[in-house]
């Protein structure tokens, strides 16, 4: 998840520290007085209790913020086994061919009870988010399995090229974001890896042009900030629309497809608490912490006039 910025908490703790120091100095100055010792001790005790309540309350607020659904913070993910679920996967047909529809089927089972899970929580308007990319990162799909009559989460997909595809399936269980990663061969299996180079050039999709600004140097392990600006005929677009309940999605995958991230956009300098404005623009901000150095491909997705706009970029992380 994005680190919780601590500026407000730091200021509050500093204020509490100054207040406590004032009480102690006052106690030291009047310590020779005849009946004030007990009263001063009570004041100091009350001040300590207030400090503990304040810091404890802030910690609780921080924990609550991390868990609050719908926030634009990037969510940490766990493997299915760590979340206490097992994943059954199948495709119909089993031999997947290019340009032919295939049903992808996920059966999610609670490992402790053996119960098939058919009522996964809705997260960003869907119970599952499935990102499918070719191993060379040239092909990209963001689709959404839904529960079917047999209890499995199923979605139809069509893959246009013969290649090995990597499937990243996200869902929420026990207040954790679960990420299942697996590979699917389509036609002639290909182990071709991605050949990437940094690319922040403006992207044109229909009448729109989307430009991404990024830090000059992106450092692994640090919270990095990106801004997407959308124009039409060189004029700012102010009627962008949410996609899946948030201003935008940003999918981030490393060149070797081992590192995966999915974060959400912010508008007006504020994080969406699960209800994005009906229209906004021209800028959408993102935050992400890259786990390792290397090249990453990123796909930004947002809504415009009822359509989903997808624009790709490549960044290098030091």
Our CA angle for 80, 86, 92, nearest 5°, is 110
Has residue 1 got a pLDDT over 60? no
276 pLDDT tier (thresholds 50, 70, 90): confident
Has residue 309 got a pLDDT over 90? yes
d(CA 61, CA 73): 15
Strand 307-317 and strand 294-304: the pairing is: antiparallel
| Residue with tokens 């992380």, as numbered in its chain | 317
Q: What is the pLDDT of residue 159?
A: 98
- Sheet hosting strand 129-134, strand order edge to edge: 77-78, 176-186, 163-173, 129-134, 140-143
Mean pLDDT for 121-136 is: 97
CB-CB contact of 220 with 292 (8 Å): yes
Has residue 11 got a pLDDT over 90? no
Q: Poorest-confidence range of 34-43, 96-105, 112-121, 126-135?
A: 34-43
Strand 102-110 and strand 85-92: the pairing is: antiparallel
Domain map (residue ranges) of the chain: 7-60, 77-186, 203-317
Residue % of the chain over a pLDDT of 70 = 74
140 pLDDT tier (thresholds 50, 70, 90): very high
Has residue 26 got a pLDDT over 80? no
Has residue 46 got a pLDDT over 60? no
**CA-closest candidate to residue 77, choices 173, 211, 190:** 173
Residues 189-236: tens digit of each pLDDT: 777 789 999 999 999 999 999 999 999 999 999 999 999 999 999 999
- Structure-token pair, residue 182: 């697996």
**CA-closest candidate to residue 296, choices 194, 216, 228:** 194
DSSP 137: S
Residues 55-80: tens digit of each pLDDT: 333 333 333 333 333 333 456 799 99
Task: Assign domain 77-186 to a CATH class.
Answer: mainly beta
24 pLDDT tier (thresholds 50, 70, 90): very low
Q: What is the pLDDT of residue 188?
A: 87
Residues 161-193: tens digit of each pLDDT: 999 999 999 999 999 999 999 999 999 877 778
Q: What would be the CATH architecture of the domain defined by 203-317?
A: Sandwich (2.60)
Q: Which tops the pLDDT comparison, 3 or 211?
A: 211
- Structure-token pair, residue 87: 């994943």
Q: What is the pLDDT of residue 38?
A: 42
Q: What is the pLDDT of residue 269?
A: 62
Residue 255 preceded by cis peptide, ω within 30: no
For the purposes of burial, counting CB atoms within 10 Å of the CB of 131, is it exposed (0-12), middle (13-18) or buried (19 or more)? buried
Mean pLDDT for 267-280 is: 72
CB-CB contact of 129 with 262 (8 Å): yes
Residues 237-268: tens digit of each pLDDT: 999 999 999 999 999 999 999 999 999 999 98
270 pLDDT tier (thresholds 50, 70, 90): low
């Amino acid at each position: 998840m994005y680190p919780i910025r601590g500026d407000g908490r730091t200021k509050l703790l500093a204020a509490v520290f100054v207040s406590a120091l004032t009480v102690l100095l006052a106690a030291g100055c009047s310590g020779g007085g005849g009946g004030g010792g007990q009263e001063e001790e009570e004041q100091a005790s009350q001040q300590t209790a207030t400090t503990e309540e304040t810091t404890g309350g802030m910690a609780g607020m921080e924990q609550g913020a991390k868990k609050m659904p719908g926030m634009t913070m990037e969510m940490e993910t766990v493997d299915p086994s760590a979340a206490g679920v097992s994943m059954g996967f199948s495709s119909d047909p089993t031999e997947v061919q290019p340009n032919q529809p295939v049903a992808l089927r996920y059966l999610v089972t609670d490992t402790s009870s053996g119960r098939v899970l058919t009522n996964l929580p809705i997260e960003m308007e869907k119970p599952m988010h499935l990102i499918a990319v070719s191993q060379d990162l040239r092909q990209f799909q963001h689709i959404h399995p839904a529960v079917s009559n047999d209890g499995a989460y199923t979605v139809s997909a069509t893959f246009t090229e013969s290649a090995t595809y990597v499937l990243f399936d996200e869902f929420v269980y026990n207040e954790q974001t679960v990420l299942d990663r697996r590979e699917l061969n389509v036609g002639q299996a290909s182990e071709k890896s991605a050949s990437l180079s940094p690319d922040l050039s403006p992207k044109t999709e229909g009448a729109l042009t989307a430009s991404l600004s990024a830090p000059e140097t992106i450092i692994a392990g640090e919270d990095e900030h990106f801004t997407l600006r959308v124009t039409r005929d060189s004029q700012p677009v102010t009627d962008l629309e949410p996609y899946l309940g948030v201003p935008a999605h940003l999918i981030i995958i490393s060149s070797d497809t081992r590192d995966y991230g999915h974060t959400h956009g912010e508008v007006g300098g504020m994080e969406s608490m699960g209800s994005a404005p009906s229209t906004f623009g021209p800028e959408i901000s993102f935050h992400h912490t890259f786990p390792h150095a290397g090249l990453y491909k990123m796909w930004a997705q947002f809504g415009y006039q009822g359509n989903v706009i997808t624009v790709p970029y490549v960044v290098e992380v030091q």
